[in-house]
Amino acid sequence: MLVNASRLINYPVLSLHVGGPIAWTNSTIVDPEKLKIVAFVVDGPAIKNDPEAGNILEISDIREFADTGMIIDSVSDFVNQGDVIKLDKIMELNFFLNGLKVETKKGSKLGKIIDFVVDTETFTVHQLVVKRPAIKSFIDPELIIPRSEIVEVNDYKIIVKDEEEKIRKRVAHEEFVPNFVNPFREPDFSANRMEKERE
């Protein structure tokens, strides 16, 4: 299922052990190399009341994603920063998609990311929701950019394929075959047919 990442903030985390909610999500931890949510920072009474409980929920510990919440086994699934080396390296990058500028390869400014769409099975980023600059926003307030258009990701911006290239690709793939009959030519055809029949 594809959902906006903004919907995943303040999302309940449910425990099978407790049989109900034990926390909620605060923010996402995104791996810029894979462009994928790898964990959530969480908060809640179960964490505050347990000094040994961590405040990070890895994607691999989510048993099921449901409308009611993210289902995990228990509060022991939460980890602290420093517990998982691979996760620590990603967190040290302090990478956030929201707020990043989006530009084309030619340097044309498309706007800033205000949200992104993820697949709840893999938590891979599928689309970027980009707010257009003030001048361009009158015509097109938001752009939806698919993952396939992304060329480069760095600390300051995301570079996508040029708009001209997108248009060229679209035109190249569209093979226009006329499937209509011109009513103004029909009399000519019938007149020619009648003349041939007379001969």
Q: pLDDT tier at 177 (50, 70, 90 boundaries)?
A: very low
% of the chain exceeding 70 in pLDDT:
78
Q: Who wins on pLDDT, 153 or 189?
A: 153
**The Cα angle at residue 125 between residues 120 and 130, in degrees rounded to 5:** 125
Sign for the CA dihedral angle at 159, 144, 115, 99 comes to: positive
Residue type at 110? L
How far is 5 from 35, CA to CA, in rounded Å? 13
Count of C-beta atoms within a 10 Å radius of residue 4: 14
Give the mean model confidence (pLDDT) for residues 182-189: 47
In the prediction, which pLDDT does 135 show?
59
pTM: 0.76
Read off the pLDDT of residues 140-161 as tens digits, 9 standing for 90 and up.
Answer: 678 899 999 999 999 899 999 9
Q: Does the domain formed by 2-92 have CATH 2.30.30? A: yes
- pLDDT score of 11 more than 70: yes
Residues 39-84 have pLDDT tens digits of 999 999 878 777 777 899 999 999 999 999 999 999 899 998 888 8
Q: In the Cβ-directed half-sphere of 17, how many Cα atoms lie within 13 Å? A: 9
Say how far apart CA 66 and CA 75 lie, in whole Å: 18
Query: What fold is seen in the domain 101-173?
Result: SH3 type barrels. (2.30.30)
Residue pLDDT, tens place only, 114-124: 999 999 999 99
Can you give the pLDDT at residue 182? 46
Split at pLDDT 50, 70, 90, the class of 164 is: very low
3-state secondary structure of 68: coil
Would you kindly state where each structural domain of the chain is located, as residue ranges?
Answer: 2-92, 101-173
Rounded to an integer, what distance in angstroms lies between the CA atom of residue 158 and that of residue 151?
Answer: 8
Please say whether the beta carbons of 95 and 80 come within 8 A. Answer: no
pLDDT at 139: 63
The pair of structure tokens assigned to 135 is 């001048």
